[in-house]
């Protein structure tokens, strides 16, 4: 018989769902940064601050998709033998094609006037007199890239809110764009709370923990193309917590803390945020990551993540990342959910939506999710061996061979 902790069941009734939390967060998010111009060769990873439209057709004219021979299909005779009257490399303006002839042509070269078809050089037979014999399988219009089939003048190339990658930079450059309007990087302040925390450079002593959350967040925020304002470790006192929150509000666009948002006597962040601004959201019905908080500190958005390393990572991925993207000026979509089969069984259920770290393997042409290890909210190493999250609905067991929703980690890293 499945069992659920009574206290967890009771607490879950006062929590809001992930979808409701996301709705609240995204409704409050807006662009927090202004625009600047950036050279196109340095624009990868930046977010466009305006729409960009095509000025020219791409390709600028009908051109060959292959090395081969250009001809007019209607001129073909029964013997399929034609003379070669010109040679057309890329970048050269061709002459009009004489009736009943063909042109030697190379990839990217303009199709001569009068031609409408290109035969691959591998498909023809070169005769001793310099003429060529064509295959009977010739198809009208083959291997011709039409003018404007990629972009036509006035068409939208790349939309405002797009984070630029290799394809977007290449498309912009294809229109002669050498600099683009982009939003400046969002500045995100991170605070790590807890008297028990020490930095990796410090000597370890009993009762102390190395501050892993700082580096998890630094890596995640940097991967989004944003800047870090590192406030450091915040000791567990109300006075110091308020001072550090004030410092963060003066130097950054967004504030993110880890730890201190639960209900313990040493958790000072919630009270300090309420004193300096307001707390709008606390407690999400997910596992791990229940003690997530959102509010404002001196008019700057504040996100409070749990102190446990995995809970911090999960809430950063699911809740902080969409909010940060919107504040950076990016357009976002809900993260996609894929159906995969579970490769393990776990009959225990919990009343919250659960995000299980799993790795995918290929098994008989199917992708199967295997549990990457112990799932405690403090066991971060299992995330290193995982590919993504298997999403388990509330009060649902995991049965081997059954389909569940899955989202890969890559959805949160760009």
Each of the 414 residues of the chain gets a pLDDT tens digit; together they read: 344 444 444 455 689 999 999 999 999 999 999 999 999 999 999 999 999 999 999 999 999 999 999 999 999 988 999 999 999 999 999 999 999 999 999 999 999 999 999 999 999 999 989 899 999 889 999 999 999 999 999 999 999 999 999 999 999 999 999 999 999 999 999 999 888 888 888 888 888 888 999 999 999 999 999 999 999 989 888 899 999 999 999 999 999 999 876 655 556 888 899 999 999 999 999 999 999 999 999 999 999 999 999 999 999 999 999 999 999 999 999 999 999 999 999 999 999 999 999 999 988 888 899 999 899 888 999 999 999 999 999 999 999 999 999 999 999 988
In this structure, are residues 390 and 374 in contact, taking their beta carbons and an 8 Å threshold? no
Q: Which residues contact 40 (CB under 8 A, 6 or more apart)?
A: 169, 172, 173, 177, 178, 179, 180
Taking alpha carbons only, the member of 238, 254, 260, 123 closest to residue 185 is: 254
Kindly write down the DSSP assignment for every residue of 61-97, as one continuous string. Answer: S-EESSSEEEE-GGG--TT-EEEEEEEE-TT-PPPPP
Can you name the residues that pair with 363 across neighbouring β-strands? 366
Three-state secondary-structure class, residue 273: helix
Residue-range domains of the chain with CATH? 6-33+185-327 (3.40.980.10), 36-57+150-183 (3.90.105.10), 63-145 (2.170.190.11), 338-412 (2.40.340.10)
370: left (phi over 0), alpha (psi -120 to 50) or beta: beta
Q: Which residues contact 235 (CB under 8 A, 6 or more apart)?
A: 195, 241
Task: Look at residue 305 in the predicted model and tell me its pLDDT.
Answer: 95
**Stated pTM of the model:** 0.87
If you count DSSP H runs as helices and E runs as strands, how many of each does the chain have, helices first? 9, 27
Q: How many CB atoms lie within 10 A of CB 43?
A: 22
- Torsion over CA of 402, 403, 405 and 411, rounded to 10 degrees? 110
Task: Look at residue 264 in the predicted model and tell me its pLDDT.
Answer: 54
Task: Look at residue 12 in the predicted model and tell me its pLDDT.
Answer: 55
């Amino acid at each position: 018989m499945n069992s659920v902790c009574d206290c967890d069941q009771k607490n879950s009734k006062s929590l809001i769902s992930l979808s409701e939390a996301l709705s609240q967060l995204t409704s409050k998010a807006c662009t927090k940064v202004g625009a600047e111009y950036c050279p196109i060769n340095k624009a990868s990873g930046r977010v466009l601050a305006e729409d960009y439209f095509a000025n020219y057709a791409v390709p600028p004219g009908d051109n060959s998709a292959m090395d081969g021979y250009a001809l007019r299909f209607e001129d073909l005779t029964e013997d399929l033998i034609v003379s070669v009257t010109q040679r057309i490399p890329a970048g050269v303006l061709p002459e009009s094609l004489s009736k009943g002839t063909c042109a030697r042509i190379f990839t990217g070269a303009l199709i001569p006037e009068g031609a409408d078809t290109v035969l691959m050089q591998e498909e023809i037979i070169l005769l001793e007199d310099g003429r060529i014999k064509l295959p009977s399988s010739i198809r009208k219009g083959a291997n011709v890239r039409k003018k404007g089939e990629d972009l036509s003048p006035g068409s939208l190339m790349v939309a405002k809110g797009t984070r630029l990658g290799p394809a977007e930079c290449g498309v912009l450059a294809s229109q002669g764009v050498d600099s683009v309007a982009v939003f400046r990087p969002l500045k995100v302040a991170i605070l790590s709370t807890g008297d028990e925390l020490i930095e990796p450079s410090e000597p370890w002593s009993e009762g102390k923990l190395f501050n892993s959350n700082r580096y998890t967040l630094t890596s995640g925020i940097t991967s989004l193309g944003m800047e870090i304002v590192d406030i450091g470790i915040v000791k567990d006192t109300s006075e110091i917590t308020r001072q550090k929150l004030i410092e963060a509000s003066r130097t950054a666009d967004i504030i993110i803390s880890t730890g201190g948002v639960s209900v313990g006597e040493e958790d000072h962040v919630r009270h300090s945020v309420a004193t300096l601004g307001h707390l709008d959201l606390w407690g999400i019905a997910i596992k791990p990551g229940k003690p997530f908080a959102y509010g404002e500190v001196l008019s700057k958005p504040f996100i409070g993540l749990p102190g446990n390393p995995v809970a911090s990572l999960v809430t950063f991925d699911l809740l902080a990342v969409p909010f940060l993207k919107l504040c950076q000026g990016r357009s976002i979509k809900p993260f996609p959910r894929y159906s995969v089969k579970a490769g393990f069984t776990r009959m225990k259920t919990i009343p919250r939506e659960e995000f299980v770290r799993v790795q995918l393997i290929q098994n008989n042409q199917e992708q199967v999710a295997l549990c990457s290890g112990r799932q405690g909210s403090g066991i971060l190493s299992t995330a290193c061996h995982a590919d993504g999250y298997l999403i388990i609905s509330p009060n649902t067991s995991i049965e081997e061979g059954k389909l569940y929703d899955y989202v890969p980690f890559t959805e949160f890293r760009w």
